[in-house]
Chains A and B, each alone.
Chain A
Amino acid sequence: MKFSEWNEADWLSLQLYFDTCILPITALSGLEAPWQMKHALERLRDALDTVEVPFKGRTVTMPAVQYRIADEHLFVQQIAGIASNCKASGFKYVIAISAANELLNLSIPNVDLLLVNPDKSTSLKLVGELWQKQD
C-alpha cells in the first residue's frame, strides 16, 4: 500500500505484516522537457505496478526520490542513506524501483533489491526469492 493510505491506528496494529519498503526512484536530471518528465513518471508507475499490485499486503510505497545528483557516488550514498533510515524505522527489506536505465548496474548499500524497468514475471520471481531467502 502507499504511504498515503495509512493512518496512525492502522499502522500501529498492522505494521508487523508490512515489512517491506518500496522506494521509487524517478532519477530526473532536471534537463528534461515537461512531457519527458511525464513519460518518466508514467514508466516509473508501470514499474511500480509490477510489485505494488501483487504484493500490496506486505509492502509500503514511499514518496519517490525525484531527482538524481549528477555525481554517482553521492547519489548512491543518498539512496543508501534513505534505505538505512527505512530499516531503522522498522522495515526489514528495502526494494528500490526505477525506470531509469542509468541505474541498471548500481549497487546500493542497504537496498535488498533494485528493480529497473522490471516486467511482471521478473518482479514476482525476484521479490518472492528475496522473501524466501531471508524469511
Chain B
Amino acid sequence: MSNEPKKQKKEVTRRQFLAYTLGGTGGFLAASMIVPMVRFAVDPLLQDKGESEFVKVIALDKLSDEPVSVPFKMLQKDGWVEEEVDLTAWITKNASGQVQALSPICKHLGCTVNWNTEKKYPNQYFCPCHGAHYEKNGKNLAIATAPLDEYEVKIQDNYVYLGKLGPNTKVTT
C-alpha cells in the first residue's frame, strides 16, 4: 500500500506505552490530556473523519456463514498523531453472498468478544468480561446496550476490503 506508514507498531514512543512506563510523570500527563474519557473504550471515535481508506483483508472464497476472525492493519489518526494499529474483524458471508464485518469490541466496556466460546450461548459472540452476548449479526442480547459495530465493506476482484468503523447497519433496535 502506498500510504503504508514507516513507523513500526512496536516503537517505544507510543503514547499508551509511556503512560505506564513513566508511571505518574510525563507519560501520565501526556496520555491523560489526550485520552480523557472512558467512552473511548467502546466508541469508534479515534478514526480519522476524512476520506475513507479501504484495506484488503481476505479473499471472498475463504468466507462462509461461520464467522472468522481476520486480523488486519489500518492507519488511524488521533489529532496530530498517526499510527498503524492492529485490528480484527469477525467476517461472515451469508447465503446470498452478503458480507458483514463486525468489530470484536464489546459495546459494554470494550473487552474483546469471541465467537461460540461459551457453552450457554452457542453460535453467539460472547464477552468474557461481564458476560455480554450477541447474535451473529451483532445484535446485543444482554449487558451491552448496543449492537457490535460494523466495518464498511467493499468487494473488489474477489477480495474483501474494510473501511471505517461505524454503527451496525443490519440490526434494528
List chain A positions with a Cβ less than 8 A from chain B: 1-7, 10, 14, 17-18, 24, 26, 38, 41-42, 44-46, 48, 53-58, 61-64, 66, 127-128, 131
Contact = CB atoms under 8 A, between A and B. Distances in A.
B20 A63 contact: yes
B38 interface: yes
Given A45-B21, A54-B112, A63-B23, A1 B28 contact: no
A64 B111 contact: no
Interface of B: 10, 12, 14, 16-17, 19-24, 27-28, 31-32, 35-38, 40-42, 106, 108-112, 127-130
A113 B131 CA distance: 21
A2 B20 contact: yes
Chain B contact surface mostly: loop
A6 to B, nearest CB: 7
A33 to B, nearest CB: 14
Given A57-B130, A61-B20, A131-B128, A4 B35 contact: yes
Nearest to A52: B16
A18 B13 CA distance: 27
A21 B66 CA distance: 35
Contacts of B36: 5, 7
A5 B35 contact: yes
B21 A57 contact: no
Contacts of A54: 111-112, 128
A128 B118 CA distance: 11
A55 B111 contact: yes
A86 to B, nearest CB: 15
Contacts of B32: 4-5
B130 A4 contact: no
Nearest to A9: B38
A100 to B, nearest CB: 14
Given A5-B32, A56-B41, A66 B23 contact: yes
Nearest to B37: A10
A55 to B, nearest CB: 5
A7 B112 CA distance: 23
Contacts of A24: 20
Contact of A48 (B12, B20, B23, B42): B20
Given A5-B36, A17-B130, 14 more contacts: A2-B20, A4-B31, A5-B40, A5-B41, A17-B129, A18-B109, A24-B20, A41-B12, A45-B10, A55-B111, A57-B106, A57-B127, A57-B129, A64-B20
